[in-house]
Amino acid sequence: MLSAKDASDAEHGQITTLNEPVIIPRSEHGISRSQFSPNALKVLYRLKDGGYEAYLVGGCVRDLLLGLQPKDFDVVTNATPEQVKKLFRNCRLIGRRFRLAHIVFGREVIEVATMRGHHGGDGGGKNNISHASEHGQLLRDNVYGTIDEDAERRDFTINALYYSIKDFCIYDYANGVKAIKNRRIELIGDPETRYREDPVRMLRAIRFATKLDMSISPATAKPIKELADLLSNIPPARLFEECLKLFLSGKAEANFKALREFGLFKHLFPALDKILDANPDSMQERFITQMFINTDARINNDKKVTPAFIFAALLWFPLLQRCQELMQREQLPHFDALAAAMNQVLSESAQQVAVPKRFTLGARDIWHIQHRFDKRGGQRAYRLSQQPRFKAAYDFMLLLVDSGQDDLKELCDWWTAYLNADVNGQKMMVKSLGGTTRGSGRPRRRRSGGSKRKGDKAAGESS
C-alpha cells in the first residue's frame, strides 16, 4: 500500500516510493493457472522447487486482468541469471544493459529476469552494477534487489503487478489494479526522471495507451514533448525494435498519430516528418495514414505484414524528394539519381532507426518495381509480375492511387485488369499497348510527391 503522501502524489500521477503491496487473493482476481502458457508454469515451478521466489510479472498479469490474451509471459525471480542457468538446460543468458535469462521451449521463449534493485547502492559482484549517462539515462541496470525495489524500477503502475506461484495472489505494488480500472497509463515515480532514465518509455506510454485503449495521465503525458529529443540517445537497433512493436500492434494508425502529436515521430523518421509538416492534409499524409490503416486491418485479420512494405512507405517521399534534388543539383540522370537517393535515404534513416538489411532489400525491390510498372511491352509485364516482391509493389501502387496520386490511375487500372485476365487476355493487353511502352532506356524526368505534370505516367518514374 502507498503511504498517505504517496497516495496523494499518486492522485497527481506521481508515486515516489512504493511501500507494502495491495495483495489480491486468488478468490478475488479471477486469474487461473490454466490461462498461463504451460512452459511459463514449468519455469515458475522449477524456480520455486529450486528454493527461489518466482512470479509472473508485467504485461501478462495486466493483460489477463483486462481479459486479453498475453503476448508473452515474463517471469521475475530472486535467483541470479547464473543460478537460473544452473536450473535449466535450455537456458541462454542475454543482454548487457539488462542481463536476462531466456528459457527456450521450441518457438516459445520465457524471459526470466532477476529482481532489480536501486542503482547507486552498493554493487557487490562484478555484474552487479548500474551505470548512467550524463542525460540520466541508465546504460546498465544490473543491480539485483528485492521485489519491492523491482516494482519501483518498472515503468508503469499497470506493469508492476506480480502473480506469485507460491500463494497464487497478485501483489500490486503501485495501485496498478486501480489504474487498470480507471484505464490510466501512469509512470511510477517522477515522470521526467523516469523518461530520462529510459527515453523509450515515452514510446511505451503511447503503445500501451493505444493497445489497451487507455489514456495517458496528465503528469505522465506532460514531459513527453519537452523530452522527445532524448530519443536521439537510444541505439537505432533498439528503436527499430520499438518501431516494429508500434507498427505491428494492430494500432499502428493510432500510434502514428500519437507519435506525431507528441513530437516523437520526428526522432524516428525526421525526413518524412518534415515533409508531413510542410504538407498538411496532403496526399502524402493520406498515403501514410492509409498504409497504417491497411496494416492494422491485415494484422487484425491474421494476415501477413512485411515490415519491408512499411519502411518502403515511410521512406518513399524522402526518396522521391532526394532523387529530385540529385537530378537538379548534380544533373544526374534519373536512374543514377534514384540509385544514389536510395542509398542516401536508407543510410540517413539508419542513424535513427536501424532497419535490418533483409527489410531494406525488400523496400528497395518495392521501390524499383514502381519504376518498372510502365514498361510492359514484350515479355516485360509477364516477367515483372513474376518478381517475388511484385504483389507488394502492386499494393504499394494501389495505395498511392487510393491516396490521390491520379497520374498513376490509368497504369494501375491496367495492371489490375492484367492480373485478372487469363493468359490469352494478358497477351492481348500487351499487344494492344503498341510500341509505346517498351521502355527505351532513355531517362525521363519525373516529379516527386503527389503533384502532377503533363506527361507523367508513374510516381517517380523514368527510365
- Binding stretches for ligand ATP (CB under 6 A): 58-59, 71-72, 74, 154-155, 159, 198, 200-201
Among residues 6, 9, 74, 296, the one annotated as catalytic is 74
155 assigned to active site: yes
CB of 403 to ligand ATP, least distance (A): 30
Checking DSSP bridges between strand 108-114 and strand 74-77, what pairing results, if any?
A: parallel
Exposure b/e, 166-180, CB count within 10 A at least 16 = b: eeebbbbbbbbbebb
128's grid cell:
552487479
Q: Is residue 59 a contact point for Mg ion (CB under 5 A)?
A: yes
CB of 113 to ligand ATP, least distance (A): 7
Q: Which is nearer to Mg ion, 102 or 222 (CB)?
A: 102
Q: Which does 155 bind (CB under 5 to 8 A by kind): ligand ATP, Mg ion, none?
A: ligand ATP
Q: Which is nearer to ligand ATP, 209 or 345 (CB)?
A: 209
Contacts by 430-438, CB closer than 8 A, 24 or more apart: 430/376, 430/377, 430/378, 430/381, 430/382, 433/376, 433/377, 435/377, 437/374, 437/375, 437/376, 437/377, 438/375, 438/377, 438/378, 438/380
Q: Which is nearer to Mg ion, 62 or 322 (CB)?
A: 62
Q: Which does 180 bind (CB under 5 to 8 A by kind): Mg ion, ligand ATP, none?
A: none
Q: Which amino acid is at 74?
A: D
Among residues 72, 229, 365, 402, the one annotated as catalytic is 72
Binding mask 13-52 for Mg ion (x = CB under 5 A): ----------------------------------------
456 assigned to active site: no
Contacts of 161 (CB under 8 A, 6+ apart): 57, 58, 61, 62, 65, 170, 171, 172, 173, 176, 177
Q: Which is nearer to ligand ATP, 198 or 253 (CB)?
A: 198
Q: How far is CA 89 from the centre of its chain?
A: 32
Q: Is residue 56 a contact point for Mg ion (CB under 5 A)?
A: no
Binding mask 64-103 for Mg ion (x = CB under 5 A): --------x-------------------------------
CB of 78 to Mg ion, least distance (A): 20
Q: Which is nearer to ligand ATP, 176 or 362 (CB)?
A: 176
CB of 71 to Mg ion, least distance (A): 6
Q: Which is nearer to Mg ion, 72 or 348 (CB)?
A: 72
Contacts of 118 (CB under 8 A, 6+ apart): 143, 145, 149, 152, 153
CB of 211 to Mg ion, least distance (A): 11
Contact in structure between 41 and 175 (CB atoms under 8 Å): no
| Chain length of the chain | 463
Residue 161 DSSP one-character state: E
CB of 285 to ligand ATP, least distance (A): 28
Residue keyed to cell 505491428:
248
Among residues 9, 155, 172, 273, the one annotated as catalytic is 155
Q: How many whole angstroms separate alpha carbon 411 and alpha carbon 242?
A: 36
74 assigned to active site: yes
Active site residues: 72, 74, 155
User: What is the contact surface with Mg ion in residues (CB under 5 A)?
Assistant: 59, 72
